[in-house]
Amino acid sequence: MLNAPAPADRVWDQLPREAQTQILDKRLRFYVIDAYRVAGDTELGRRINTIMQTCFFALSGILPIERALAEIKQTIQETYGKWGADTVQKNLAAVDQALAHLHEVRLPDHVTATRAFAPLVPAEAPDLVKTVTALMLAGKGDWLPVSAFPVDGTWPVGTAKWDKRNLAQEIPVWDPAICIQCNKCAMVCPHAAIRAKVYAPAALTGAPSAFKAVDYKAHEFPGFRYTIQVAPEDCTGCNLCVMVCPAKDKSNPKHKAIDMQPQRPLREVERHNYAFFLQLPEADRTAVKQDVKGIQFLEPLFEYSSACPGCGETPYIKLLTQLFGDRALIANATGCSSIYGGNLPTTPYGVNRDGRGPAWSNSLFEDNAEFGFGFRLALDQHSEQARALLSRLAPQLGTTLVDELLQADRHSEAGLAAQRQRVAVLKQTLSALASPEARRLTTLADYLVRKSVWIVGGDGWAYDIGYGGLDHVLAMGQDVNILVLDTEVYSNTGGQQSKATPLGAAAKFATAGKATPKKDLGLLAMTYGTAYVARIAFGGKDTQTARAFQEAESFPGPSLLIAYSPCIAHGYDLKFGLDQQKLAVESGYWPLYRFDPRRLDKGESPLQLDSVPSRSDLIQFMRNETRFRIVEHQDPERFRELVAAAQRHNAYRTALYQQLATVVPSTVARRGERSTSS
Q: Which positions lie near a second copy, rule CB under 8 A?
A: 464, 467-469, 471-472, 475, 477, 499, 515-517, 519-520, 523-524, 527-530, 600, 616-620, 643-644, 647-652, 654-656, 659-660, 662-665, 667-669, 671-676, 678
Nearest 5°: CA angle at 154, between 149 and 158?
100
- The residue (of 324 and 639) whose beta carbon lies closer to a second copy is 639
- The residue (of 322 and 501) whose beta carbon lies closer to a second copy is 501
Cβ 562 to a second copy shortest distance, Å: 13
Say if strands 532-536 and 593-595 run parallel, antiparallel, or are unpaired.
antiparallel
Q: CB of 437 within 8 A of CB of 388?
A: no
Q: CB of 37 within 8 A of CB of 5?
A: yes
State the first-to-last Cα distance of the chain, in angstroms, to the nearest integer. Answer: 87
Q: CB of 215 within 8 A of CB of 238?
A: no
- The residue (of 107 and 476) whose beta carbon lies closer to a second copy is 476
Cβ 654 to a second copy shortest distance, Å: 8
Cβ 496 to a second copy shortest distance, Å: 14
- The residue (of 366 and 551) whose beta carbon lies closer to a second copy is 366
Residue 617 main-chain phi, psi, to 5 deg:
-100, 25
Cβ 674 to a second copy shortest distance, Å: 7
- The residue (of 259 and 617) whose beta carbon lies closer to a second copy is 617
Cβ 295 to a second copy shortest distance, Å: 32
Distance CA 416, CA 408 (A): 8
Q: What's the CA dihedral at 518, 521, 522, 523 to 10 degrees?
A: 80
Cβ 489 to a second copy shortest distance, Å: 15
Cβ 332 to a second copy shortest distance, Å: 19
Q: CB of 161 within 8 A of CB of 235?
A: no
Cβ 510 to a second copy shortest distance, Å: 12
- The residue (of 385 and 654) whose beta carbon lies closer to a second copy is 654
Q: CB of 315 within 8 A of CB of 292?
A: no
Alpha helices in 14-64 (DSSP H): 17-25, 35-41, 49-60
Contacts 24+ apart (CB under 8 A), 647-655: 647/618, 647/619, 649/503, 649/517, 650/587, 650/588, 650/589, 650/613, 650/618, 651/588, 653/520, 653/588, 653/591, 654/588, 654/591, 654/613
Question: Beta partners for 453?
Answer: 329
- The residue (of 116 and 515) whose beta carbon lies closer to a second copy is 515
Residue 564 main-chain phi, psi, to 5 deg:
-65, 130
Local structure of 441: helix, strand or coil? helix
- The residue (of 287 and 656) whose beta carbon lies closer to a second copy is 656
Burial state string for 511-531 with b = 16 or more CB within 10 A and e = fewer than 16? eebbeebbbbbbbbbbebeeb
Cβ 631 to a second copy shortest distance, Å: 15
Cβ 589 to a second copy shortest distance, Å: 11
Cβ 333 to a second copy shortest distance, Å: 14
- The residue (of 342 and 517) whose beta carbon lies closer to a second copy is 517
Question: Beta partners for 3?
Answer: 33
Cβ 232 to a second copy shortest distance, Å: 43
- The residue (of 67 and 472) whose beta carbon lies closer to a second copy is 472
Local structure of 43: helix, strand or coil? coil
Q: CB of 289 within 8 A of CB of 302?
A: no
- The residue (of 195 and 376) whose beta carbon lies closer to a second copy is 376
Nearest to 181 by CA among 170, 200, 171, 196: 196
- Radius of gyration over alpha carbons of the chain, in Å? 28
- The residue (of 453 and 619) whose beta carbon lies closer to a second copy is 619
Question: Beta partners for 252?
Answer: 249
Burial state string for 53-71 with b = 16 or more CB within 10 A and e = fewer than 16? bbbebbeeeeeeeeebbee
Nearest to 574 by CA among 296, 337, 169, 241: 241
10 Å CB burial of residue 571 (0-12, 13-18, 19+) is: middle
Cβ 613 to a second copy shortest distance, Å: 9
Nearest to 500 by CA among 515, 474, 520: 520
- The residue (of 23 and 622) whose beta carbon lies closer to a second copy is 622
